[in-house]
Amino acid sequence: MIDVEDLIALVRNYNPGTNAELIRKAYDYGFRMHAGQTRHSGEPYFTHPVSVAAILTEQRLDDASIITALLHDTIEDTKSTYTEIASEFGEEIAELVDGVTKLTNLQLTSTETKQSENFRKLFMAMSKDLRVILVKLADRLHNMRTIKSLPQEKQARKARETMDIFAPLAGRMGMQWMREELEDLSFRVLNNEARSSIIRRFITLQRETGDVIQKITSDIRLELEKEAIEADVFGRAKKPYSIWRKMQEKQLAFSRLSDIYGFRVICGSESDCYRILGAIHRRWRAVPGRFKDYISQPKSNGYRSIHTTVSGRDGKRVEVQIRTRQMHEVAEAGVAAHWSYRDGARAKNPFAVDPAKWIASLTERFENGDDHDEFLENVKLEMYSDQVFCFTPKGDVVQLPKGATPLDFAYSIHTRIGNSTVGAKIDGIRVPLWTRLKNGQSVEIITAAGQRPQATWIDIVVTGRAKSAIRRSLREEDRERFIKLGQELARVAFEHVGRKATEKALRMAAKTLGLTDENDVLAQLGSAELTAREVIEAIYPELATRQAVEEIDARRAVVGLTADQSFRRANCCQPVPGERIVGITYRGQGVVIHAIDCPALADFDMQPDRWVDLHWHSGRHAPVYTVSLNATIANDAGVLGRICTLIGEQGANISDLTFVDRKPDFYRLIIEVDLRDAEHLHMMLTALEAESDVAQAERYRDLARKP
């Protein structure tokens, strides 16, 4: 295990001003918290957090990241708490440790729906502080380096999760070295036989051809010396997994692969990059279609470099990457370059991308999506994508993933343009919408009013933004069609029971059914998610056929009275079956029943001996309980008659009716209605409120009336 002083020395190498005391404190705290714990290998558990911290020193990260690495498992695996860490090390570090803990608890390889929800949480954690994912990646890297001690089944699960999620995420963040190592370590677990086969073929090839890397490196250096350009040249064979992936994609045998070697030239200035490119192209023939200029068109994660593939010594294809030293720092660290130190201070690398802007660009199009699986698909598309750069007719650059089509181009400009696309021109020539775009092409989108996305477009586009927009448009189009069908079904169903399917009636149905609005009711009716009967019953349940049920005798409706006690309902609150009640005894008058929330009960607070605990008899009651309703209706011919008819249709009887206010455009009246119970009252109010001629309908309680 790395000693604390050795760890501090690693940090001091790039940050002489480091807070050594705080690192020592964190080291000692973590050591104490993990005391007695061991890894699967039998080593003390604390060797893992220390190794994660050491990996982060290779990226020259700040003290907060190093300390977080030392403490990243304390909340999850020890008795330590967020509050304690915040008290000992500050809120910033506590937030980072808590963020890593939450990422560790995410089951990213669980069922698809849960996996997509957890991907959202992963990106939310990243958006708060990207250092959380930097620590998590270092944690995963060390776990993969020491994975042999785990059971085979767990090894395979971890390796698959690493290959599917963490490796491409590291690549998307610009940390290519970490992506390659994570892929290679996962490849060793998932298909060690294929990996070993590729390594054996490399050894055989080197024995047959000699040290090709050394020879080509010398050739490049010689060309640069002729041009008097100072630069460092490095060469390497590509990783086994990278070669395996190309063999699978191109369906080629190892012997037919050409560009299995990669070379990197690192120089002092941007102008030198283009001079080096010229020198290499003069010496060797460039391979068409294999040139990318990421200096003039940087990747979104800050990556800048020139890539070219040439036919080198003995006709072998080699890829050459050309970049400045500052560009190289970003290429190695990716988004992490934002926190890197150089010469004792936070590095101010002009090519380091702002992490907040980077994560915003990656997540902005997924924030409002409701479909978890769609979110997951879009995130994976974004993480695995390589890029092409195309131009609008005005010369603006549009950055798209490899394999993108003119439709992707159109949606990247604006959703409205994508939705109305009818054709496209590439470099002035009309092409099909499924054409794959190439670097440097000029794309013109042809639109037409009234055009709508087609279902087949989903299989043409590759960007998450385009797929989301197309699916959203198709859903809206289907919804419009279902609403129109639902309107006709509702009209027929309502006419069948002598009612009209007004907007107000449908809004009441939506409220009763727990839907958003009347259009939701119509859409579900049109798509057969709801039946017309269910919509009618939501507003007019009395119109539905019901089996005859024996009604409770009104004289036995209340439970809790003695044999010689009679009862009557209080006029002030008019309680009905289904409501909580209490009785108040009156000498010579029996028991008066009040609703439990009746304000009149306050008068009896000091007379507990008069209170009687009562409740309504369960079962179906007769419609004999008068309730006052306050209704405001339109002053128009026939309206009052229709309201009275409606009340009758609900199985209720009007016992009295009083006009309270008469205006030229409306009436306000108190209607005394005989009802069965609280549910019957609710149904009555719902039916009245659904009527377009009723402005308001509510229960009326007159507390001035004597009990």
Which of 300, 327, 346 is the last residue before a domain boundary? 346
Asked if 581 and 600 count as a contact pair (C-beta separation under 8 A), the reply is: no
559 in a domain, yes or no?
yes
pLDDT recorded at residue 222: 92
Place of tokens 């000029």: 442
Q: Is 597 a catalytic residue?
A: no
Active-site pick, 77, 164, 542, 649:
77
Q: How confident is the model at residue 67 (pLDDT cuts 50, 70, 90)?
A: very high
Is the pLDDT higher at 441 or at 258? 441
Residues 6+ apart with CB under 8 A from 534: 513
pLDDT recorded at residue 215: 85
416 in a domain, yes or no?
no
pLDDT recorded at residue 113: 42
Is the pLDDT score of 642 beyond 80? yes
Is the pLDDT score of 684 beyond 50? yes
Percent of the chain with pLDDT over 70: 84
Say yes or no: 169 and 199 in one domain.
Answer: no
Q: To the nearest whole number, what is the mean pLDDT of the chain? A: 82
Say yes or no: 486 and 556 in one domain.
Answer: no
**Mean pLDDT of the region 168-191:** 86
Is the pLDDT score of 548 beyond 50? no
Say yes or no: 215 and 124 in one domain.
Answer: no
Please tell me the least confidently modeled range out of 99-103, 354-358, 563-567, 596-600: 354-358
Asked if 323 and 296 count as a contact pair (C-beta separation under 8 A), the reply is: no
Is the pLDDT score of 353 beyond 90? no
The two tokens of residue 298 are: 């940087």
pLDDT recorded at residue 139: 92
Q: How confident is the model at residue 53 (pLDDT cuts 50, 70, 90)?
A: very high
- Burial of 335 by CB count in 10 Å (0-12 exposed, 13-18 middle, 19+ buried)? buried
pLDDT recorded at residue 277: 93
Q: How confident is the model at residue 398 (pLDDT cuts 50, 70, 90)?
A: confident
Is the pLDDT score of 15 beyond 50? yes
Entry pTM:
0.54
448 in a domain, yes or no?
no
Is the pLDDT score of 111 beyond 50? no
pLDDT recorded at residue 225: 92
Active-site pick, 58, 76, 88, 270:
76
Please tell me the least confidently modeled range out of 34-48, 180-194, 197-211: 197-211
Say yes or no: 591 and 534 in one domain.
Answer: no
Is the pLDDT higher at 462 or at 397? 462
CA distances from 348 to 54, 97, 342 (A): 23, 26, 9
pLDDT recorded at residue 107: 55
pLDDT recorded at residue 347: 53
73 in a domain, yes or no?
yes
Q: For position 637, which CATH number holds?
A: 3.30.70.260
Q: Is 534 a catalytic residue?
A: no
Percent of the chain with pLDDT over 90: 25
Is the pLDDT score of 467 beyond 80? yes
| H helices present in 210-287, as ranges | 212-226, 240-250, 270-283
Give the pLDDT confidence of 212-253 residue by residue, as tens digits. Answer: 788 888 989 999 999 899 999 998 877 888 888 777 666 655
Is the pLDDT score of 703 beyond 70? yes
Say yes or no: 516 and 557 in one domain.
Answer: no
Is the pLDDT score of 616 beyond 80? yes
Say yes or no: 19 and 163 in one domain.
Answer: yes
**Mean pLDDT of the region 441-456:** 88
Say yes or no: 303 and 202 in one domain.
Answer: yes
429 in a domain, yes or no?
no
Say yes or no: 146 and 171 in one domain.
Answer: yes
| DSSP assignment string, 540-578 | -GGGS-----PPBPGGG-EES--TT--EEE-TTT---TT
Q: What is the domain extent for residue 594?
A: 552-707
- Rounded to the nearest 10 degrees, what angle do helices 152-161 and 176-190 cross at? 150
pLDDT recorded at residue 671: 93
535 in a domain, yes or no?
yes
Buried/exposed 226-258: b ≥16 CB within 10 Å, e otherwise: eeebebebebebbbbbbbbebbeeeeeebeebb
Is the pLDDT higher at 318 or at 279? 279
Which of 346, 379, 401 is the last residue before a domain boundary? 346
**Mean pLDDT of the region 187-201:** 85
Q: How confident is the model at residue 546 (pLDDT cuts 50, 70, 90)?
A: very low
Say yes or no: 297 and 207 in one domain.
Answer: yes
389 in a domain, yes or no?
no
361 in a domain, yes or no?
no
**Mean pLDDT of the region 81-99:** 90
Tally of structural domains, the chain: 4
Q: How far apart (Å, rounded) are the C-alpha atoms in residues 480 and 473?
A: 11
Say yes or no: 151 and 82 in one domain.
Answer: yes
pLDDT recorded at residue 106: 59
CA distances from 147 to 38, 140, 150, 523, 704 (A): 14, 10, 6, 53, 80
Partners of 399 in the beta sheet? 389
pLDDT recorded at residue 112: 44
End-to-end CA distance of the chain: 84
Is the pLDDT score of 385 beyond 90? no
Which of 292, 317, 346 is the last residue before a domain boundary? 346
Q: For position 293, which CATH number holds?
A: 3.30.460.10
Q: Which phi and psi (to 5°) does residue 149 adopt?
A: -80, -10
Asked if 649 and 540 count as a contact pair (C-beta separation under 8 A), the reply is: yes
Say yes or no: 491 and 624 in one domain.
Answer: no
Asked if 482 and 527 count as a contact pair (C-beta separation under 8 A), the reply is: yes
Q: How confident is the model at residue 542 (pLDDT cuts 50, 70, 90)?
A: low
**Mean pLDDT of the region 596-608:** 87
Give the pLDDT confidence of 122-175 residue by residue, as tens digits. Answer: 665 555 677 888 898 999 999 999 999 888 888 998 898 888 778 877 877 778
Q: How confident is the model at residue 209 (pLDDT cuts 50, 70, 90)?
A: low
Say yes or no: 579 and 527 in one domain.
Answer: no
- Taken in order 103, 106, 107, 113, the sign of the CA dihedral is negative
